[in-house]
């Protein structure tokens, strides 16, 4: 049954409602791959579709919105099951349809705010072809593209449909930002571009609720003569008692269904939060209606501002120092409480010994500490030292990460080291939730985007941030070629200096440093004084990526003879400090741009003794 036949048969074509939120209400937990239920629990999927059929839907939609190879692989390691999941999704829907039409649901390949990099057009089309081919093989009547934010992905998907003879499609974008997509494209501009896709029907779905979707449909309807499809959410979800809850408003959506038909909609369904009762109200409120005529207007809008803005470069003191001297920095962990006097006193003494900057860590080992931005501001205000703020991905979603970064820029905290952050399972709150919307490479892309005056969705900011971005890397990687590629990619996305993990094996590090230096950015080597045999053995045997040379272990084993007259513990400490001092001089000879000293257990007196030898 083609879309054209459906439109001729019914005055208004009623699509079904939400699938994901219905499965959630029936006990499928958040985070589960809902598309995979087509294979593992087809009965629960069929039960949802049968309820929509009983509510009067003319079209049932397959449970395949995210069932493309990229999404299935990236989040669930199910990429190889892509054909099976889609084909079975179509078969389940057909079995529940009872003669109704079946639409193959196809969603975008990327999530709205992902920072994994652009997907090449050829790859987009290949992935869509695999999914659509499987849906057609399972028996769908046509395709419905849902919840697209980027017109480029929708264009690629529509081109694929045109390769299947006789296959029709409907194309919907989502407009949650006051009549614009998440990437800032106005509904009229998007409507004009959708008009050129070659799909039979265009429209809008998801969003914030029926009222805003009506406004969007009015704007799209002014720039296309194609039939319109609207599938609004029930409204805005809230989180209550451990669950996401949408407004229960079937009658309200039913009234808006009439308004949508009066605005020219030929097809109406529901998206997130809608239920069979919503569909029943849509059907009863639009029975016997015909979509109203529409008046086209000429749209002069050029669309979103695509002007590329150059990176904002800020000449921080750190940037200047790295270009002319060996910069000595010390890593400080924020205190376990509001009192910062002890940490500040220790750093004040180190400043007098030539320390140039302070690395402020972000709850290392996932243990509760003061906010790093608070102690960073105290250090800068009290000691007038340059601060390198560690920024991690562990605790904040994309919104909070960007919000905080804008705040750091406003406070003139421009030196940042982008890190993934230690997972909560390592720390004193192992039951806390780890967010990790992105890892360090994605965080670097976010900061670089802010430096260009746009958020990660591409929306223009009122000013650029101007961060001096640092990226981390191992000190002695097993696969140097791979690590150099990773660092080079970080540099291409804005990293301006590299800081390594602690160096213990100078010979191994020197070889790696030569390759790092060839990438054209300053290299800061981390140095951690280890003051006991147990510490050396721990790092050698339990910490991946760290090499402790035999000579270091041998000298520590001889500590009591090298430092006669001292207690064994103090003798080992003396030898450890001497080893660290020798390593510092070796790093200076190697030609690193800076050294970050990481004091064990926040013992700044060890750093003081090391620098004062």
Which pLDDT score, from 0 to 100, does residue 114 have? 59
Calculate the CA 535 to chain-centre distance.
Answer: 36
Which pLDDT score, from 0 to 100, does residue 242 have? 64
Least-confidence region, from 256-270, 425-439, 442-456, 554-568: 425-439
Which pLDDT score, from 0 to 100, does residue 113 have? 58
Question: For 48-79, what is each residue's pLDDT tens digit?
Answer: 999 999 999 999 999 999 999 999 998 899 99
User: 144 forms bridges with which residues in the sheet?
Assistant: 105, 170
**pLDDT (mean) for 6-26:** 94
Here the tokens at position 520 are 């054209």
Q: Could you tell me which residues come within 8 angstroms of residue 256 by beta carbon, excluding any fewer than 6 positions away?
A: 210, 211, 214, 232
Q: Are 571 and 559 in contact (CB under 8 A)?
A: yes
Task: Determine the Cα–Cα distance for residues 551 and 555; give it in Å rounded to an integer.
Answer: 6
Which pLDDT score, from 0 to 100, does residue 138 have? 97
Here the tokens at position 181 are 């997509």
SS3 70: helix
| pTM (global) more than 0.85 | no
Least-confidence region, from 131-145, 408-422, 435-449: 435-449
Task: Determine the Cα–Cα distance for residues 19 and 62; give it in Å rounded to an integer.
Answer: 9
User: 230 forms bridges with which residues in the sheet?
Assistant: 204, 268
CA distances from 407 to 329, 400, 538 (A): 24, 10, 39
Question: For 435-452, what is each residue's pLDDT tens digit?
Answer: 777 888 889 999 999 999
Task: Determine the Cα–Cα distance for residues 100 and 375; give it in Å rounded to an integer.
Answer: 63
Calculate the CA 354 to chain-centre distance.
Answer: 39
Task: Determine the Cα–Cα distance for residues 66 and 613; give it in Å rounded to an integer.
Answer: 62
Question: What H or E segment, with its residue span, contains residue 557?
Answer: helix 550-557
Kindly state whether residue 138 falls inside one of the protein's structural domains: yes
Which pLDDT score, from 0 to 100, does residue 410 have? 95
* 565 compared with 202, residue with greater pLDDT: 202
Is pLDDT at 240 greater than 90 in this prediction? no
Question: For 544-556, what is each residue's pLDDT tens digit?
Answer: 778 889 999 999 9
- Residue 16 sits in a domain whose CATH number is 3.20.20.330
Kindly state whether residue 294 falls inside one of the protein's structural domains: no
* Domain end among 177, 203, 229: 203
Kindly state whether residue 524 falls inside one of the protein's structural domains: yes
β-pairing verdict for 523-527 and 495-502: parallel
Percent of the chain surpassing pLDDT 90: 70
Kindly state whether residue 450 falls inside one of the protein's structural domains: yes
Q: Tell which residue, 357, 360, 356, 396, has the closest CA to residue 376.
A: 360
**pLDDT (mean) for 591-602:** 91
CA distances from 454 to 334, 390, 462, 465, 533 (A): 31, 22, 9, 9, 50
Q: Specify burial of residue 238 (Cβ count, 10 A radius: 0-12, 13-18, 19+).
A: exposed
Here the tokens at position 82 are 């892509």
Is pLDDT at 237 greater than 90 in this prediction? no
Which pLDDT score, from 0 to 100, does residue 12 have? 96
Question: For 453-509, what is each residue's pLDDT tens digit?
Answer: 988 877 889 999 999 999 999 998 989 999 999 999 999 999 999 999 999 999 999
**pLDDT (mean) for 340-369:** 89
Task: Determine the Cα–Cα distance for residues 380 and 378; give it in Å rounded to an integer.
Answer: 6
Kindly state whether residue 210 falls inside one of the protein's structural domains: no
- Mean of the per-residue pLDDT values for the chain? 91
Domain that holds residue 321: 317-531+592-611
pLDDT band of residue 247 (cuts 50, 70, 90) is confident
CA distances from 491 to 311, 359, 452, 520, 546 (A): 13, 20, 15, 9, 24
CA angle 186, 189, 191 (to 5 degrees): 105
Is pLDDT at 225 greater than 50 in this prediction? yes
DSSP 289-336: --PPP----------S--PPPPPPP---HHHHHHTTS-EEEEEEPPPS
- Based on C-alpha coordinates, what's the Rg of the chain? 30
Which pLDDT score, from 0 to 100, does residue 307 have? 57
Question: For 181-190, what is each residue's pLDDT tens digit?
Answer: 887 789 999 9
Same domain, 509 and 361: yes
* Domain end among 203, 220, 238: 203
* 302 compared with 275, residue with greater pLDDT: 275
Which pLDDT score, from 0 to 100, does residue 514 have? 95
Kindly state whether residue 221 falls inside one of the protein's structural domains: no
Task: Say how many domains are in the chain.
Answer: 2
Kindly state whether residue 177 falls inside one of the protein's structural domains: yes
Sheet hosting strand 101-106, strand order edge to edge: 13-14, 265-268, 228-232, 201-206, 168-173, 142-148, 101-106, 59-61
Question: For 335-349, what is each residue's pLDDT tens digit?
Answer: 989 998 988 998 898
Q: Are 526 and 499 in contact (CB under 8 A)?
A: yes
Instruction: Give buried/exposed letters for 64-81 (b at 16+ CB in 10 A, else e).
Output: bbbbbbbbbebeeebeeb
- Residue 485 sits in a domain whose CATH number is 3.20.20.220
pLDDT band of residue 47 (cuts 50, 70, 90) is very high
Q: Are 435 and 395 in contact (CB under 8 A)?
A: yes
Least-confidence region, from 16-20, 87-91, 141-145, 246-250: 246-250
* Domain end among 164, 180, 203: 203
Which pLDDT score, from 0 to 100, does residue 72 have? 95
Kindly state whether residue 308 falls inside one of the protein's structural domains: no
Q: Could you tell me which residues come within 8 angstroms of residue 315 by beta carbon, excluding any fewer than 6 positions away?
A: none
**pLDDT (mean) for 307-312:** 64
pLDDT band of residue 301 (cuts 50, 70, 90) is very low
């Amino acid at each position: 049954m083609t879309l054209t036949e459906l439109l001729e048969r019914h005055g208004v074509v009623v699509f079904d409602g939400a699938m994901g939120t219905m499965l959630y209400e029936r006990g499928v937990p958040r985070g589960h791959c809902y598309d995979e239920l087509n294979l593992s629990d087809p009965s629960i999927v069929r039960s949802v579709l049968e309820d929509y059929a009983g509510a009067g839907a003319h079209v049932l939609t397959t449970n395949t919105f995210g069932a493309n190879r990229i999404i299935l692989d990236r989040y669930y390691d199910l990429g190889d099951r892509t054909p099976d999941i889609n084909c079975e999704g179509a078969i389940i829907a057909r079995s529940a349809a009872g003669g109704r039409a079946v639409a193959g649901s196809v969603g975008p390949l990327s999530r709205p705010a992902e920072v994994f990099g652009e997907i090449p057009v050829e790859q987009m089309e290949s992935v869509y072809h695999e999914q659509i081919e499987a849906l057609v093989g399972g028996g769908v009547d046509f395709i419905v593209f849902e919840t697209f934010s980027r017109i480029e992905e929708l264009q690629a998907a529509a081109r694929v449909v045109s390769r299947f003879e006789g296959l029709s499609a409907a194309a919907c974008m989502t407009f949650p930002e006051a009549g614009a997509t998440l990437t800032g494209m106005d509904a009229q501009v998007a409507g004009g571009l959708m008009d050129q896709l070659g799909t039979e029907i265009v429209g809008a779905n998801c969003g914030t609720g029926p009222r805003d979707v009506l406004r969007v449909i009015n704007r799209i309807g002014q720039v296309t003569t194609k039939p319109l499809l609207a599938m609004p959410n029930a409204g805005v979800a809230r989180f209550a008692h451990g669950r996401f809850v949408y407004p229960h408003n079937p009658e309200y959506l039913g009234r808006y269904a009439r308004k949508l038909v009066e605005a020219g909609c030929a097809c109406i369904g529901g998206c997130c939060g809608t239920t069979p009762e919503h569909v029943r109200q849509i059907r009863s409120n639009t029975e016997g209606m015909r979509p109203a005529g529409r008046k086209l207007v000429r749209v002069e809008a050029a669309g979103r501002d695509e002007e590329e803005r150059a990176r904002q470069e800020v000449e921080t003191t750190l940037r200047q120092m790295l270009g002319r001297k060996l910069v000595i920095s010390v890593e400080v962990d924020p205190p376990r409480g509001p009192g910062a006097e002890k940490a500040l006193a220790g750093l004040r003494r180190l400043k007098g010994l030539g320390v140039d900057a302070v690395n402020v860590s972000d709850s290392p080992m996932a243990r509760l500490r003061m906010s790093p931005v608070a102690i960073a501001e105290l250090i800068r205000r009290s000691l007038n030292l340059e601060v390198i703020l560690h920024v991690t991905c562990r605790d904040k979603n994309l919104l909070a990460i960007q919000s905080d970064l804008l705040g750091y820029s406003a406070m003139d905290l421009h030196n940042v080291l982008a890190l993934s952050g230690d997972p909560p399972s390592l720390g004193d709150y192992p039951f806390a939730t780890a967010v990790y919307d992105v890892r360090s490479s994605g965080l670097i892309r976010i900061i670089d985007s802010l430096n260009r005056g746009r958020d990660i969705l591409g929306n223009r900011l009122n000013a650029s941030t101007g961060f001096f971005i640092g990226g981390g890397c191992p000190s002695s990687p097993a696969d140097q070629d791979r690590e150099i590629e990773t660092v080079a990619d970080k540099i291409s996305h804005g990293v301006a200096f590299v800081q390594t993990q602690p160096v213990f094996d100078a010979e191994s590090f020197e070889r790696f440093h030569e390759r790092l230096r060839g990438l054209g950015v300053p290299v800061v080597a981390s140095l951690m004084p280890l003051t006991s045999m147990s510490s050396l053995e721990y790092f050698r045997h339990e910490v991946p990526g760290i090499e402790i040379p035999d000579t270091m272990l041998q000298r520590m084993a001889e500590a009591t003879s090298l430092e006669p007259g001292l207690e064994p513990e103090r003798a080992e400490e003396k030898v450890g400090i001497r080893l660290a001092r020798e390593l510092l001089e070796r790093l200076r000879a190697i030609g690193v741009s800076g050294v970050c000293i990481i004091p064990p257990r926040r013992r700044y007196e060890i750093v003081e003794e090391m620098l004062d030898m």
